[in-house]
């Protein structure tokens, strides 16, 4: 897949799913990326929840076979660190005006988290049309997302938090959802153990499930 020709949100829309990665050892970054690509999910939100996150971004910078994002970006300084390390998009758990402003200054896509109408209103006022709905399941799930999208019909959501193979398609079927985030295909313990073939298998299973669902939905039209 050529990542550079489409916008970040177009690419994420095509891939549909964003693995939310917590890395403890940056030396596994390329093996992890290989597993994601092999499993048909060529993107990652590498969180800055561990110091290894930034090192992993640096190790993956310049790879043209996957779209590289940074997650848990909490302030403008983090934006600079993440972008300097190679992040092509920036995800935050909540809305931070300083984060969004610095992303604009640095020319990278910001996908801040929202979970209330007030936060969404602030995000829309800041000119955003793509947000993360976080933590999706805990904040009310699909009914909440549906309710939030009512007054904001132009907004597209990336739900994340509590998504699993058995509920991800119900989110992706929603017309206001452009992609979904989750960690089930990149379990932290599996990565620590260096079982990257298992990560590739989990990604491939997820890919097959999403593609199968899409084919079924298209066939049913």
CB of 116 to ligand 3PG, least distance (A): 17
- The reply on whether position 20 binds ligand 3PG by CB under 6 A is yes
Intra-chain end-to-end CA distance of the chain, in Å? 27
The residue from 163, 168, 177, 210 that contacts ligand 3PG (CB under 6 A) is: 163
Conformation bin of residue 209: beta by default, left when phi > 0, alpha when psi is -120 to 50: alpha
Site string for ligand 3PG, 62-81 (x = CB under 6 A): ---------x----------
Please identify which residue in 88, 109, 183, 206 interacts with ligand 3PG, judged by CB under 6 A.
183
Residue identified by tokens 């073939």 is: 197
Of 10, 38, 45, 119, which one is the catalytic site residue? 45
Considering the complex, what minimum distance in angstroms separates the CB of residue 59 from ligand 3PG?
A: 21
Stretch that binds ligand 3PG, among 2-10, 53-61, 115-123, 154-162 (CB under 6 A): 154-162
Bridge partner list, 191 = none
Asked if 149 is part of the footprint of ligand 3PG (rule: CB under 6 A), the reply reads no
Q: Does 134 bind ligand 3PG (CB under 6 A)?
A: yes
Give the nearer residue to ligand 3PG in terms of CB position, either 36 or 62. Answer: 36
Active-site residue, 132 included: yes
Residue 214 a catalytic site member: no
Q: Is 92 in the site for ligand 3PG (CB under 6 A)?
A: no
**Least distance from C-beta 91 to ligand 3PG, angstroms?**
8
Catalytic site residue from 10, 132, 198, 214: 132
Two tokens at 33?
Answer: 């990326």
Q: Does 111 bind ligand 3PG (CB under 6 A)?
A: no
160 is a contact residue toward ligand 3PG (CB under 6 A):
yes
By rule CB under 6 A, what count of residues binds ligand 3PG? Answer: 10
**In 3D, which of 177, 172, 156 has the Cα closest to residue 209?**
172
Strand partners, 57: none
The residue ranges that bind ligand 3PG (CB under 6 A) are: 20, 71, 134, 160-163, 181-183
Residues marked active site are found at 45, 132
């Amino acid at each position: 897949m050529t990542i550079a020709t489409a916008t970040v949100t177009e690419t994420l829309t095509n891939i549909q799913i964003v693995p939310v990665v917590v890395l403890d050892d940056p030396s596994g970054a390329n093996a992890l990326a290989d597993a994601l690509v092999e499993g048909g999910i060529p993107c990652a939100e590498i969180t800055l929840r561990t110091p290894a996150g930034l090192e992993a971004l640096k190790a993956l910078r310049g790879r043209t076979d996957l779209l590289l994002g940074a997650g848990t970006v909490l302030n403008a300084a983090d934006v600079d660190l993440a972008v300097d390390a190679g992040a092509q998009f920036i995800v935050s758990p909540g809305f931070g005006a300083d984060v969004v402003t610095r992303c604009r200054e640095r020319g990278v896509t910001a996908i801040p988290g929202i979970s209330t109408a007030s936060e969404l209103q602030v995000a829309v006022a800041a000119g955003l049309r793509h947000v993360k709905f976080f933590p999706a399941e805990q904040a009310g799930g699909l009914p909440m997302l549906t309710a939030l999208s009512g007054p904001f019909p132009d907004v597209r959501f990336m739900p994340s938090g509590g998504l699993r193979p058995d509920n991800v398609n119900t989110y992706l079927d929603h017309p206001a959802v452009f992609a979904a985030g989750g960690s089930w295909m990149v379990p932290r313990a599996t990565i620590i153990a260096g079982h990257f073939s298992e990560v590739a298998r989990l990604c491939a299973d997820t890919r097959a499930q999403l593609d199968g669902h899409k084919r079924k939905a298209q066939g049913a039209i």
